Amino acid sequence: MALIVQKYGGTSVGNTDRIKNVADRVAKYRAQGDQVVVVVSAMSGVTDGLIKLAKDIAPLPSEREMDMLLATGEQQTIALTAIALHAVNIPAVSLTGAQAGIVTDGVHTKAKIHNITPKRVHDLLKAGNVVIVAGFQGETEDGQITTLGRGGSDLTAIALAAALKADLCQIYTDVDGVYTADPRLVPSATKLAEISYDEMLELASLGAKVMQSRSVEFAKKFGVVFEVRSSLNDNPGTIVKEETKSMEDIVVRGVALDKNQAKVTLVGVPDKPGVAARIFKALGDAVVNVDMIVQNISHGTGIPATDLSFTVDKPDLLKAQKVIAALQKDIGFKDVLADENIGKLSIVGVGMKSHTGVAGKMFDVLAREGVNIGMISTSEIKISVIIDLAKGAQATAAVHKAFIG
């Protein structure tokens, strides 16, 4: 008998037939004598639909109220999944994140899990139930409903698997596992049998939305081995685990394109100590995640001026612009430009630590495709470039072909 945490994403619970399919899959594990905790997302399109409703009313809605609104998506699915299990004679109880003991900090829309006290989950399992937990949500110590960032049901599942010391953690989605690139973008992409936490973390934070990056961070920290697999067939998926020596033989494990970035450029920023600190501290205080930063060579006489560009997640662009606008008079830069038509193309692999010439090859492929590179950033196991969004698919396919095939 094993304790299994299974997470089903939006497409896997996208209509009532899919929810019945989830119940049938859970029933098979129950028939083997396993205990099952099911984490579900909102039905596909529901979270986006709720965000749209709010933005139709106000472009920058209160983040507390957004959490109150978005948490309802998952609450529908837990009840429907419990009803589907009851229909096949399996005792099941649904719980909100708060009822499952998920306690978070108070950063609305991007809350971090502080701790989980899964007593109620344990008790319900012991009494013979399947326990269904709403993904993506928790509650602060003082009872405010929070959400864990887009794709946050992955985090709920991994954190619960850690807290419950589950024997297995399975992330069911609408593809067979983690591929060398998004299979919808690069049809020749192949499924990986296994991938290291670090590679999965880079791919996830660089746009491969198959896993939420914070969930992978959590899995690495607590050593939760998990499998990404399809809810629509029984093919083996991809195991995500600690790096092994043989993983270094492959230079590029995967390619990712992030279309969810925007670039902000401050024109004519006085080039003197403390200015960058003020800009990025203000953005940090507003909980805007800044990724790449590029400062140009300064020019002019007197106090020289420079242009400063940085990237943020697209949904944070309006907030970032508001923060920057409030600093303009004080700091004295000339203008602020925003560009949403960018893509971040990345290659990832632990093998880069021991192979040379990888960046040169990537840039050469892009040059031959006529793709201009706007910004570059690297780490030990990844190279990312900002390019024109319109050329994103073409560039991703070319880079995938050159490194993977």
Q: Point out which residues bind Mg ion (CB under 5 A).
A: 9, 151
Count of C-beta atoms within a 10 Å radius of residue 187: 8
Which residue, 9 or 118, has its beta carbon nearer to Mg ion? 9
Which of 151, 152, 237, 374 contacts ligand ADP by CB under 6 A?
Answer: 151
238 binds, among Mg ion, ligand ADP, ligand ASP, none (CB under 5 to 8 A by kind): none
User: Per residue in 137-159, is it b (16+ CB within 10 Å) or e — as a string?
Assistant: bbbbeeebbbbbbbbbbbbbbbb
Q: Which one of the spans 146-154, 256-264, 308-316, 359-367 is the region binding ligand ASP (CB under 6 A)?
A: 146-154
Which residue, 73 or 177, has its beta carbon nearer to ligand ASP? 73
Asked if 201 is part of the footprint of ligand ADP (rule: CB under 6 A), the reply reads no
The answer to whether 133 touches 120, Cβ cutoff 8 Å, is no
Closest CA to 182 of 194, 190, 170, 193: 190
Output the DSSP codes for 327-346: HHHHHT--EEEEE--EEEEE
136 binds, among ligand ADP, ligand ASP, Mg ion, none (CB under 5 to 8 A by kind): ligand ASP
Query: Residue 344: beta bridge partners?
Result: 258, 386
Q: Minimal distance in Å, beta carbon 211 to Mg ion?
A: 7
Which residue, 22 or 175, has its beta carbon nearer to ligand ADP? 175
Q: Minimal distance in Å, beta carbon 286 to ligand ASP?
A: 21
Element at 120 (helix H, strand E): helix 119-126
Q: Minimal distance in Å, beta carbon 72 to ligand ASP?
A: 10
- Give the list of residues 6+ apart from residue 141 with CB closer than 8 angstroms, or none: 103, 114
- 63-87 and 16-31 helices cross at what angle (nearest 10)? 60
**Reduced to 3 states, what is the DSSP secondary structure of residue 352?**
helix
Query: Residue 227: beta bridge partners?
Result: 170, 239
Q: Minimal distance in Å, beta carbon 253 to ligand ADP?
A: 10
Closest CA to 100 of 80, 83, 63, 125: 125
Which of 10, 177, 343, 374 contacts ligand ASP by CB under 6 A?
Answer: 10
Which of 18, 30, 150, 382 contacts ligand ASP by CB under 6 A?
Answer: 150
254 binds, among Mg ion, ligand ASP, ligand ADP, none (CB under 5 to 8 A by kind): ligand ADP
Which of 14, 97, 118, 152 contacts ligand ASP by CB under 6 A?
Answer: 152
Asked if 6 is part of the footprint of ligand ASP (rule: CB under 6 A), the reply reads no
Which of 67, 74, 139, 182 contacts ligand ADP by CB under 6 A?
Answer: 182
Element at 39 (helix H, strand E): strand 35-40
Site for ligand ASP in 24-83 (CB under 6 A): 41-42, 47, 73
The residue whose two tokens read 């992030």 is 258
DSSP state, 15? S
Asked if 254 is part of the footprint of ligand ADP (rule: CB under 6 A), the reply reads yes
Helices (H), 210-339: 213-222, 275-285, 317-331
Q: Minimal distance in Å, beta carbon 181 to Mg ion?
A: 17
The answer to whether 77 touches 43, Cβ cutoff 8 Å, is yes
Q: Minimal distance in Å, beta carbon 39 to Mg ion?
A: 11
∠ CA(337), CA(110), CA(158), 5° rounding?
A: 130
50-57: long-range pairs with CB below 8 Å, 24+: none
The contact mask relative to ligand ASP for 100-139 (x = CB under 6 A, - = no) is: -----------------------------------xx---
| C-alpha distance across the termini of the chain, in Å | 42
Which residue, 166 or 175, has its beta carbon nearer to ligand ADP? 175
Asked if 316 is part of the footprint of ligand ADP (rule: CB under 6 A), the reply reads no
Which of 179, 218, 333, 403 contacts ligand ADP by CB under 6 A?
Answer: 179
- 358-368 and 392-403 helices cross at what angle (nearest 10)? 130
Which residue, 154 or 307, has its beta carbon nearer to ligand ASP? 154
Task: Please give the residue ranges that form the binding site for ligand ADP (CB under 6 A).
Answer: 9-12, 41, 151, 173-175, 178-179, 181-184, 203, 208-210, 254
Residues in contact with ligand ASP by the rule CB under 6 A? 9-10, 41-42, 47, 73, 135-136, 150-154
